[in-house]
């Protein structure tokens, strides 16, 4: 029965134009990240050449080669920003559609007339969401790979491993947002309220929490290279303790380590960054199962 729900849901999402839009946006974001990385690389070469020429004219020694500071996978550093921005928002919408469409169509009443437990229904729904997100990310990985091969003229086995690991972490980051989209439909009485509540949660996690724990202004969160901020204020000394729970910051930090675009850290430290994310996903998973068990599927949420 889980397989039936799974395949029905994947088919339903495939039939929706929204999924095509999400896939297009995801691939576009990845291509954009690659193009920006390429542009960044070209700018550094041109600025370095010009600086060397000007310094040589004044008799000054050549500046250090900035590429020694620029790792190969930094070409994709914008993806670390786009996954929490574009990917997470779309994951909320996907999760929302998974339950809301069925409620709007009144299918909820019919489904449980069949010999199917609510746990099977939830498992099928969550697995289909996880599979669709994995499909989106695999497509994005392929575009990233093409961008790296085009710009860097090759990729080592180690870099390929790092890239795969980054996308696996991104998948683990997006699944909780899809669960948020599902849960908000189960918690609210109207479709619009559910979607906007899910978006409110995304805004708080992505922009508000990092400001409280790290003093990052909203627009600073958009830049892949973040300058360290002084956290000497008494306020931050208290709130910084909650920094490990800021999943977006932990995701970005762990991604930076995996892609080798930020200073190296011990493996245990990186794993400790990922743990809160897994804990967050586990809590949402339990909540989704519990809410589906008690949800009244006889009502329709087609009203606003």
- CA angle in degrees (0–180, nearest 5) for 25-26-28: 65
Q: How far is the CB of 207 from other proteins (least distance, A)?
A: 6
Question: Considering only residues 14, 15, 299, 303, which one is a binding residue for other proteins as defined by CB under 8 A?
Answer: 303
Structure tokens belonging to residue 188: 């609210």
Task: Compute, in degrees rounded to 10, the torsion defined by CA atoms 119, 124, 277, 249.
Answer: -140
User: By CB under 8 A, which span of 35-43, 120-128, 142-150, 175-183 interacts with other proteins?
Assistant: 35-43
Question: Considering only residues 2, 73, 79, 100, which one is a binding residue for other proteins as defined by CB under 8 A?
Answer: 100
**Binding of other proteins at residue 242 (CB under 8 A)?**
no
**Binding of other proteins at residue 287 (CB under 8 A)?**
no
Question: Considering only residues 72, 125, 191, 273, which one is a binding residue for other proteins as defined by CB under 8 A?
Answer: 191
**Binding of other proteins at residue 85 (CB under 8 A)?**
yes
Q: What's the rounded Cα separation, in Å, for the pair 299 and 231?
A: 50
Query: What φ, ψ does residue 302 adopt, rounded to 5°?
Result: -75, -20
What DSSP character marks residue 221? G
Positive or negative torsion for Cα 220, 221, 223, 224: positive
Footprint of other proteins on 151-180 (CB under 8 A): none
Contact, 94 vs 26, CB < 8 A?
A: no
Question: Considering only residues 59, 69, 113, 267, which one is a binding residue for other proteins as defined by CB under 8 A?
Answer: 69
**Binding of other proteins at residue 43 (CB under 8 A)?**
yes
**Binding of other proteins at residue 70 (CB under 8 A)?**
yes
Residue 215 gets the label, from left (phi > 0), alpha (psi -120 to 50) or beta, of left
Q: What's the rounded Cα separation, in Å, for the pair 52 and 26?
A: 39
User: By CB under 8 A, which span of 7-15, 109-117, 196-204, 265-273 interacts with other proteins?
Assistant: 196-204
Burial grade of 190 (CB within 10 A; 0-12, 13-18, 19 or more): middle
Which lies closer to other proteins via its Cβ, residue 6 or residue 82?
82
What DSSP character marks residue 5? H
Positive or negative torsion for Cα 256, 84, 22, 174: positive
Question: Considering only residues 44, 155, 245, 285, which one is a binding residue for other proteins as defined by CB under 8 A?
Answer: 44
Which lies closer to other proteins via its Cβ, residue 70 or residue 295?
70
User: Number of residues in contact with other proteins, rule: CB under 8 A?
Assistant: 60
Binding site for other proteins (CB under 8 A): 17-18, 21, 25, 29, 32, 36, 39-40, 43-44, 46-48, 50-51, 54-55, 63-64, 66, 69-70, 78, 81, 85-86, 89, 93, 100, 191-193, 195-197, 199-200, 203-204, 207-208, 211-212, 215, 217-219, 222-225, 227, 233-236, 302-304
């Amino acid at each position: 029965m889980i397989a039936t729900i799974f395949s029905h849901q994947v088919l339903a999402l495939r039939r929706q134009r929204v999924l095509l839009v999400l896939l297009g946006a995801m691939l576009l974001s990845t291509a954009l990240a690659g193009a920006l990385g390429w542009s960044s690389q070209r700018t550094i070469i041109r600025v370095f050449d010009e600086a060397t020429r000007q310094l040589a004219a004044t008799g000054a020694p050549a500046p250090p080669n900035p590429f020694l500071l620029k790792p190969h996978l930094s070409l994709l550093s914008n993806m670390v920003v786009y996954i929490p921005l574009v990917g997470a928002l779309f994951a909320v919408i996907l999760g929302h559609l998974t339950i809301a469409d069925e409620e709007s169509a009144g299918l909820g009443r019919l489904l449980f007339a069949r010999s199917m437990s609510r746990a099977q229904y939830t498992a099928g729904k969550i697995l289909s969401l996880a599979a669709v997100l994995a499909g989106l990310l695999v497509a994005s990985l392929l575009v990233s790979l093409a961008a790296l091969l085009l710009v860097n003229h090759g990729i080592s086995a180690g870099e390929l491993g790092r890239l795969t690991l980054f996308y696996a972490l991104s998948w683990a980051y997006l699944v909780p947002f899809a669960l948020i989209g599902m849960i908000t439909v189960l918690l609210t009485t109207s479709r619009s309220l559910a979607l906007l509540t899910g978006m409110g949660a995304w805004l708080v996690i992505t922009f508000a929490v990092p400001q409280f724990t790290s003093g990052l202004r909203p627009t600073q969160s958009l830049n892949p290279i973040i300058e360290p901020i002084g956290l000497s204020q008494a306020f931050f000394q208290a709130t910084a303790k909650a920094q490990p729970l800021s999943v977006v910051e932990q995701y970005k930090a762990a991604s930076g380590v995996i892609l080798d675009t930020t200073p190296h850290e011990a493996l245990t430290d990186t794993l400790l960054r990922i743990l809160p994310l897994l804990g967050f996903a586990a809590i949402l998973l339990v909540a989704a199962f519990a809410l589906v068990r008690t949800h009244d599927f006889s009502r329709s949420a087609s009203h606003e």
